[in-house]
Structure 1
Amino acid sequence: MTKVYGHAEARVVALDSVDVEFRSEQFTAIMGPSGSGKSTLMHCVAGLDAPSDGEVFVGGTALTGLDDVALTELRRDRIGFVFQAFNLLPTLTAWENITLPLDLAGRKPDPQVAESIIEAIGLRDRLSHRPSELSGGQQQRVACARALITQPDVVFADEPTGALDSRSSSDILSFLRRSVDDFDRTVVMVTHEPMAATYADRVLFLADGRLVDEMYAPTAEGVLDKMKSLEKVGL
């Protein structure tokens, strides 16, 4: 997959022939120096942006062949999203924000799934509160629950702990880890934090739009050393 922005002198190759597979029921972190293509890769594989060349599949479905309506339905029903900015609707309660994707699809939450998610996020007594009445960490837990309520094929998390303190970050990362181990979900997370990457099964390293390395069972020290080496050689 290749993604190019601009033309002529303004042409920028954000992704340069990237070929990658995200395995089911696995937690993958994507890392790399600033401008390496991390978020571009996530946006393309999540159907938020279209590649300039190549194909993207979710399961056996090719995203590149879908019209806008079909793509919107696929993102709603089969993909969960967690963003740094939470993206909760301020006029809705925590529970209404969680069930919003199902409401838009005209579906009711599975009672067993809903109960397990409520238990996992630990906000049972805050479900009737609006976002302004919740801390940043609590809002992000609501966002994580919203991403899981549809039982998606994959959850994409773009710097989910970027606006949180260390305690709240740990809570969110533990929840994402649990969503893989206990709920059999697939999680792909963009992060710049070596400690956050240790929650993943695998870390992919990008530089200048290319996939340059990967690491299994990552440690904070190993990830930090790899990031330093990428920045040092100017990849």
Structure 2
Amino acid sequence: MWTWSDSGTVDAVQTNPAARARALTKVHGTGDSRVVALDHVDVDFHTGRFTAVMGPSGSGKSTLMHCVAGLDAPTSGTVFLGDAELSAMRDDRLTALRRDRVGFVFQAFNLLPTLTAWENITLPLDLAGRAPDDALAKRIIDAVGLGDRLHHRPSQLSGGQQQRVACARALITGPDVVFADEPTGALDSSSSADLLGLLRTSVDDLGQTVVMVTHEPAAAAYADRVLFLADGRVVDELAAPTADRVLDRMKNLERVTI
């Protein structure tokens, strides 16, 4: 979670890393249909950092995100969010943890059509019986630039505006980690840049931790580092990425895996 200092800045209160996995393995099927989606993956996602996860189709990148976010159970290995071990939790505790400590942004906006933008943003807090932190809510609304659209329903918003509402909803609880799965996949280039800039701002100004799965080098360039997966393993890492450097790494990776 975040706390607000007297100066109005955000202090991260959890210890590094925000999330981590050890010997994470996910197997689908048995016998001839057995597929190893993740193969003994060790990975850390550090607090206040933006990590992009890339790899060829079928490399395990979405499976990794889903397991670390508590959306899917690993076959073996351990996953921690802060000091909490997800793999040891009962379903009810895991559901509460995802609601209170994890934010999600998906390619599909997943907004409720009968609720206003503001009601969609605050829905996780309503479900938890919590009131919004006024200072945090103002920072987020200012960042998404939807102050004049908060009372509009999703059908009255553009695709880019709907995704910004979804991003604000992911941030409103002050989560330990925001997981974004191909969040720009349904957006045009301008809306994509707006959303990625918002995720970058949440890291730089709010101290947020962001993990984003993407196949787009330009999107990955917004991150602090890029992890590359192939055949269910982390095979490479790139710090301070640019779109050109990411594209070169992806081309080399695809040549190796062909």
Give the shorter-chain TM-score range: over 0.9
Aligned counterparts, 1:23-172, within 5 A:
23-172=46-195
What is the CA–CA distance in structure 1 between the aligned matches of 2:245 and 2:136, rounded to whole Å? Answer: 36
After TM superposition, the score normalised by the length of structure 2 is 0.90
SS in 2 for 1:226: helix
What whole-Å deviation, never above 9, does each CA across 1:118-157 have from its counterpart, x for those lacking one? 1000000100000011000000000000000000000000
**Which aligned segments of 4 or more residues in structure 1 are displaced greater than 3 angstroms?**
none
Could you tell me which residue of structure 1 aligns to residue 7 of structure 2?
Answer: none
Deviation (angstroms), 1:96? 0.2
What is the CA–CA distance in structure 2 between the aligned matches of 1:103 and 1:47, rounded to whole Å? Answer: 21
- RMSD between superposed Cα atoms in Å: 0.6
What is the CA–CA distance in structure 2 between the aligned matches of 1:36 and 1:228, rounded to whole Å? Answer: 14
Specify the code of the residue in structure 2 equivalent to 1:50.
Answer: A
Structure 2 unaligned residues grouped into runs of 5+:
1-23
Could you tell me which residue of structure 1 aligns to residue 226 of structure 2?
Answer: 203
What is the CA–CA distance in structure 2 between the aligned matches of 1:114 and 1:222, rounded to whole Å? Answer: 36
What is the CA–CA distance in structure 2 between the aligned matches of 1:86 and 1:44, rounded to whole Å? Answer: 21
Specify the code of the residue in structure 1 equivalent to 2:189.
Answer: S
Choose the corresponding residue for 2:254, options 213, 231, 235. 231
Give the structure with the higher percent helix: 1
Deviation (angstroms), 1:230? 1.1
Choose the corresponding residue for 1:184, options 207, 221, 227. 207
What is the CA–CA distance in structure 2 between the aligned matches of 1:135 and 1:168, rounded to whole Å? Answer: 9
Choose the corresponding residue for 1:4, options 27, 35, 50. 27
Structure 1 unaligned residues grouped into runs of 5+:
none
Specify the code of the residue in structure 2 equivalent to 1:206.
Answer: L
What whole-Å deviation, never above 9, does each CA across 1:173-227 have from its counterpart, x for those lacking one? 0000000000001000000000000100000000010100000000111100111
Specify the code of the residue in structure 2 equivalent to 1:195.
Answer: A
Give the structure with the higher percent strand: 2
What is the CA–CA distance in structure 2 between the aligned matches of 1:207 and 1:87, rounded to whole Å? Answer: 29
What whole-Å deviation, never above 9, does each CA across 1:79-103 have from its counterpart, x for those lacking one? 0000000110011000000000000
Specify the code of the residue in structure 2 equivalent to 1:40.
Answer: T
What is the CA–CA distance in structure 1 between the aligned matches of 2:201 and 2:225, rounded to whole Å? Answer: 15
Choose the corresponding residue for 1:218, options 227, 230, 241. 241
Specify the code of the residue in structure 2 equivalent to 1:66.
Answer: M
Question: What is the number of residues matched between the two proteins?
Answer: 235
